[in-house]
Structure formats: C-alpha cells, structure tokens
Structure 1
Amino acid sequence: MTNTAFYNASNLIDAENAQDPNTEVYQSISYPKELLYSNRMYEKLMEFEPNASEEVQIASKAQHICRWKIGRDSYPMDRVGYLKWREELKKFHATTTASILEKVGYDAAFIARVSFLIEKKQLKKDEETQLLEDVICLVFLSYYLDPFVQKHDREKMKNIILKTWNKMSDKGHQEALKINYSASNLDLIKEALGL
C-alpha cells in the first residue's frame, strides 16, 4: 500500500479524535483528550519499535478512536459492567477504524489485521498484539500514572501497577524502568513489584 493511504488514514483518525469534547492540558496547551492520547501512542510506538508494521502504526493511533462516544456510565458501575464496557469499546474502535481504512483504499486482509490488533487478540502469543500492549502500558506509565495516583489509594495503585506490569514483555519492562518517574511514583512502582 502506498504512503498516501497511510497519510490519509492518519489524518482521518486525527480528525475523528479532534472532535473529543473532553480536553487535557499538556505543557500549557489544551488538546482534545483522545487526539493527545493517539499522538502519544504513535510517538511511543515509533520510539520503542521504529520498524513497526503499518498495521501496528495505525492500530496505535486508533487505539481509543472516538472513545468518548461510549461512556463508562452507560454500563453498570461494577467489575462486570467495566469488562463489558471495555469489550464493547474494543469492537467499536475496530469497526470505526475499519470504515476509515476501507475509505482510503486498504484491502480486507490489512483491515482485518488492524482490527485484530485493536481488539488485542492473542496477547502474549501474537508479537504485534504484544507490541501494541507494551506501548499502551508505556504510555500509561509515562503520562497517566500521576492522575491515577491522585485518585486511588496506595494498595489499589500497587494492584494497578502490577496488572500493568504483567501485561508487558521483557523488552517493555526494560523500557518502563527507563521512564523518568517522580521519586514517590518510583517508590510506589518498586513496592508494587517487590524490587
């Protein structure tokens, strides 16, 4: 496939995410939340695995495409509700992305592969699904750990960190330990991992 299709797909994904009514301020600039997340995912992927396939590159950008359209509050506020919401989101992100890829001329096999990755199928078994999961975890640890720490107690945070760690590969772990954490967050991570 030509770079034109990739460029067009990227622009359409960005255009969708730019409609997010939720904003996040980063370095004194306000961004649509999911557009910022998408950019962080893509940048982290290219930093972590510069030779990532086009399928993974698109899956990284579209990981949370239009996430605000399916609110957490549209499902019961318990564990079962949370898991149902997450499953529904994966399918929604995959189908939203598939229609964009079809529009710009990607073939069915390429689109199916991107959907497979966005739905995070065969984690730990499929190399590219694992790569995407590593990037998701690295983006979380780099940018979203602090807001979580402010919202949850220490025990809950240790559990979140451990779950995140267990989803990652060895290469992901090595990269995660290079992140410039605050002293208190680094202590929390070490405590959670028993380091």
Structure 2
Amino acid sequence: MTDKYTQALHKIDVLHEEDPKIITSPSSPTPIPYELHYANKMTKYLTLREPSAPETLRLAIRAQHLKRWEVPRSSYPATKLGYHAWRSGLQKRQADMAEAICREVGYSPEEASRVAALVRKEGLKGGDPQTQVLEDVACLVFLDDQFEEFEKGYDEEKVVGILKKTWAKMSEQGRELALKIDMSNRAKSLVVRALEE
C-alpha cells in the first residue's frame, strides 16, 4: 500500500473515532466507537471477498459510514421515500468527504472521484464488479454484525422479506461467505426460511 493510502486511511479512521456511540463486542472487547468497529468489519470482509482489492476500493469500503451518526434516520420522514432520501443523502455526503480526503493526501482527481463513485455505489446495476464487491461486503457486515439486533424490531415476515432482498443483492461469492457466518439458532432459522421461500 502507498503512503497516500496510509494517510487517507488514517484520516478516515480519525473521523470514525469521533462517533459518540461506544460499543464492546466479541470482535471488539475493548470499548470502541461503533463506526470504527463497523469500518474494521467492512475491511475484514473485503479481505475475505477480494484480497487483491485496489486502494480505491479499500478506501471506499472504509468510508461507507463516514460520520453517519451526524444524520440520524429520524431527520427524514418515517416513510419508504424518506428512507431512500436518507440513504441517498448519506451516500452523497460520505462520498464527498471521502473524495476530499483522497485529494488532500495526493490521489489524482480521477482516483478520488473513483472512490466517491464507489461510496455512492454507482454502477451497481450496470455490472461494475468493484461496486458489487462493496455491496457484498456491506451485506455481509449487516448479516454478521447487525442482523440479530435488527430482527428483534420487526415481525418474522418482514425480516424474511428483508433477508430475501439482501440475498438478491449479493453475488455468488458473497453468498458463499454469508453461509459461513456464525449466527444464533434463531437467526440461522430465519436465513434458512428466506432461502427456501
């Protein structure tokens, strides 16, 4: 990895460290800001999914939730349209911050713009393989790190529907990794049901 990459990664992680939500978990037994924990999980799954990923993809993966806590879901209407507007707004905001960091440390405008495009998940429907890797990694982290807590807030039918949508977003390589995630019996049973329907 280049010096530019190391500098950019450090700047991104310094921002993650500002997250006021502190957690502990089996993978982070020492208290850690949640978004730094999330970024570490993203990098872990990127290493499993695409060990030879270029620096631009590594940085986009690391910047996925950059300062996300500053724009809570409650700042948008509690509707489907509100949810999509919130997600789109976050993607643009995070992409702009990541692009600025990349330019600050010496990446070319094209490289910085590529990082931003990946953060925004551009080209996902157009078959961009790197954007698909990013989508796989985000889905894997959801299943590994967020799903068990998330599913407690919804009825089973809703959860199974969300699992089906998550599975549909993933490539075959992503799905293979997903099936290896260690989950509670309840979470596993919901995944199995989603895959069987």
**What secondary structure is seen at the aligned counterpart in 2 of 1:186?**
helix
CA distance in 1, matches of 2:178, 2:39: 19
How far is 1:163 from its partner?
0.9
How far is 1:194 from its partner?
0.9
CA distance in 1, matches of 2:177, 2:98: 28
CA distance in 2, matches of 1:17, 1:99: 16
CA distance in 1, matches of 2:186, 2:91: 33
Which position in structure 2 is the counterpart of 1:106?
107
CA distance in 1, matches of 2:78, 2:189: 31
Which position in structure 2 is the counterpart of 1:174?
176
CA distance in 2, matches of 1:21, 1:185: 28
CA distance in 2, matches of 1:142, 1:148: 11
Which position in structure 2 is the counterpart of 1:144?
146
How far is 1:192 from its partner?
1.0
Which position in structure 1 is the counterpart of 2:2?
3
Which position in structure 2 is the counterpart of 1:87?
88
Q: 2:167 aligns with which of 165, 168, 171?
A: 165
Residue deviations 1:90-149, cap 9 Å, x none?
000000111111111100110111111100012141000000000111111111111012
Which position in structure 1 is the counterpart of 2:32?
31
Moved more, 146-155 or 52-61: 146-155
Structure 1: any 5+ residue segments left out of the alignment?
A: none
Which position in structure 1 is the counterpart of 2:12?
13
Residue deviations 1:34-78, cap 9 Å, x none?
111011101110122110111110011000000011121111111
Q: Which amino acid aligns with 1:169?
A: S
Matched positions, count: 194
How far is 1:29 from its partner?
2.6
In the TM superposition, 1:178-193 aligns within 5 A as: 178-193=180-195
**What secondary structure is seen at the aligned counterpart in 2 of 1:151?**
coil
Q: Which amino acid aligns with 1:38?
A: A
CA distance in 1, matches of 2:143, 2:5: 28
Which position in structure 2 is the counterpart of 1:127?
129
Q: Which amino acid aligns with 1:21?
A: P
TM-score (norm 2): 0.94
Structure 2: any 5+ residue segments left out of the alignment?
A: none
CA distance in 2, matches of 1:24, 1:161: 25
**What secondary structure is seen at the aligned counterpart in 2 of 1:55?**
helix
How far is 1:10 from its partner?
0.5
Moved more, 83-92 or 171-180: 171-180
TM-score (norm 1): 0.95
Q: CA RMSD in A?
A: 1.2
Determine if the alignment matches structure 1 residue 58 to structure 2 residue 49.
no
- What is the percent sequence identity of the aligned residues? 39
CA distance in 2, matches of 1:180, 1:77: 32
